[in-house]
Amino acid sequence: MLKKLGIAVCASAMLTAGAIPAQAADKVADELEIFSWWAGDEGPALEALIDIHGKKFPKVDVVNATVTGGSGVNAKAVLKTRMLGGNPPDSFQVHAGQELIGTWVKADRMEDLTPLFEQEGWMDVFPEGLVKLIGTDDGIWSVPVNIHRSNVMWYVPDNLNKWGVRPPQNWEEFIEIAPKLKAQGVVPLALAQNWTANHLWESVALASLGAEKWDKLWTGELPFNSPEAVAAWDLFGKVLDYTNTDASSLSWQQATDMVVDGRAAFNVMGDWAAGYMSTTKKLKPGTGFGWVASPGTNGQFMFLADSFGLPKKSPNRDQAIEWLKILGSKDGSDAFNPLKGSISARTDSDLSKYNDYAKSASKDFSHDRIVGSLAHGVTANEGFMNDFATVMEMYLKTRNSDAAGKAMVSIAMKNKIGQ
């Protein structure tokens, strides 16, 4: 009896083992697996792209593999285990820039997309500064789908009138008006948990250093313990004096809420805050909420972008390339971005499809000086970003600029920044 059972089990195991590869082999020809962390609010935007692909290739079965979690915390871990296990998806979402280059290009896992960029004429429609930041000397590694701006300061115009202040042009002006706001019981600058401190730091550092020196930090030409870089920490410390004390227990939305509810005057946050305020809070861009480039960074566009790359050994390479073509096309990006609340990386997008904030951001993007964001993976690899979070925590506790500068030097060395 037992023996028979054993044989039956073995036989069925062999059957299924044999059956699965055969089925998969049939499907290979017309399948495309896309790996991303866009679910929930961002799901419809991705669906719009998949729809375009579906119209072009009705027979291809698109597998939409999403792993949820903000900024892809969980998705990235899953992707790493899949790649290490030799099971790459056909194309995956990744923050453009060093987050992609440091992790995947240096590991020789990506295909160079320069031929695709040339063939599709993208060299002319994407800004030059952008192409430089998402590539290396050896090639271009991903197709940017959207552009977000990091250095934006948000406020509510009516509240500012009530308190008798104007949006500051630079941090000196901010530090001048901040005591006036404090005297009226208003928090001058709303801040949330630690990653938003990183986010604020990059806007302050960009203002303190200027675009040239900011870029030089990341090429290794300007050391992190140079007087200029330490001065950025000093300025950051002064700005921190005017933020709320309960920052580390708030989410970024709660910090934005403080501005919307009139408990705080300003908030420096990426332009996903525009989507939050117009969609969730039902405020009208321009009148319900207002924005300027964060103090001292007018004319500079600190960007971050989601992009898709082509891993080597992608099981359905041809389809993956078709997918990338759609992402970079005008139709594709104009279908995706209005839904996602971001702007297109192309300089020729159809602005009538976008809201007022996006129109102004698009205009800035096409003529501003473009620099990369640290907090969102453009200028430094993941190892550095991870360690930077530690340096930031250290600084928030001790407020010691010199020590922060020194710690930055050692984490840059450890993570081979600018080498």
Partner 1 sequence: MREVSRDRIKAFLTLLPSIVLIGIFVYGFIGNTIWISLTDWGGVGALAEDPQISYIGFQNYVDLFTGFLEGRFRQDLVNAVYYSVLLLAGAVGLGMFIAILLDRKPMGEDFLRTIFLYPMSLSFIVSGTIWRWLLAPQGGVNILPTYAGMEPLSFQWLASKESVLLFNWQNLLGIILYIAAFILIIVGLLGLKRDPNRAMKRWILPGVIIGAIVWLFGDLLPQAMIMEEMHGLNLATLGIILATVWQYSGYTMALYLAGFNGISQDLRHAAMLDGASEWDYYRRIAIPMLKPITISAVIILSHISLKMFDLIFAMTGPDNAETGHPALNMYLTTFRANDFAKGAAIAIVLFMVAAMFIIPYLISSYRQQKGE
Residues at the contact surface with partner 1, assessed by CB under 8 A: 73, 76-77, 80, 83-84, 86, 102-104, 106-109, 193-195, 245-250, 381-383, 385-387, 389-390, 392-394, 396-397, 407, 410-411, 414-416
CB of 98 to partner 1, least distance (A): 10
Report helix, strand or coil for 396: helix
CB of 76 to partner 1, least distance (A): 7
CB of 282 to partner 1, least distance (A): 23
Q: Match 């590694």 to its residue by tokens.
A: 141
CB of 382 to partner 1, least distance (A): 6
**Nearer to partner 1 by C-beta: 197 or 327?**
197
Amino acid occupying residue 231? A
CA–CA distances in Å: residue 296 to residues 20, 165, 211, 238, 301? 60, 17, 11, 15, 12
Q: How far apart are CA 64 and CA 61, in angstroms?
A: 10
* Helical ranges in 135-271 per DSSP H: 157-163, 171-183, 194-209, 211-219, 227-240, 252-260
DSSP 117: H
**Nearer to partner 1 by C-beta: 161 or 398?**
398
CB of 162 to partner 1, least distance (A): 21
Contacts of residue 57, defined as CB under 8 A and 6 or more positions apart, other chains included, come to 30, 319, 322
CB of 94 to partner 1, least distance (A): 12
CB of 92 to partner 1, least distance (A): 13
CB of 314 to partner 1, least distance (A): 14
CB of 266 to partner 1, least distance (A): 18
C-alpha closest to that of 145 among 380, 306, 261 = 306
C-alpha closest to that of 307 among 281, 345, 341, 338 = 345
**Nearer to partner 1 by C-beta: 165 or 417?**
417
**Nearer to partner 1 by C-beta: 243 or 316?**
243
Say how far residue 247 (Cα) sits from the centre of its chain.
Answer: 22
Q: How far apart are CA 315 and CA 82, in angstroms?
A: 13
**Nearer to partner 1 by C-beta: 238 or 325?**
238
- Quickly count helices (H) and strands (E) in the chain: 19, 14
Token couple for 269: 């946050």
Q: How far apart are CA 97 and CA 141, in angstroms?
A: 9
Q: How far apart are CA 328 and CA 307, in angstroms?
A: 10
Q: How far apart are CA 7 and CA 14, in angstroms?
A: 10
**Nearer to partner 1 by C-beta: 64 or 248?**
248
**Nearer to partner 1 by C-beta: 62 or 380?**
380
Element (H, E) at 415: none
**Nearer to partner 1 by C-beta: 35 or 301?**
35
User: For residue 15, with 0-12 CB atoms within 10 Å meaning exposed, 13-18 middle and 19 or more buried, which class applies?
Assistant: exposed
Q: How far apart are CA 242 and CA 39, in angstroms?
A: 36
Beta bridge partners of 147: 343
**Nearer to partner 1 by C-beta: 280 or 390?**
390
**Nearer to partner 1 by C-beta: 48 or 78?**
78
CB of 284 to partner 1, least distance (A): 27
Report helix, strand or coil for 417: coil
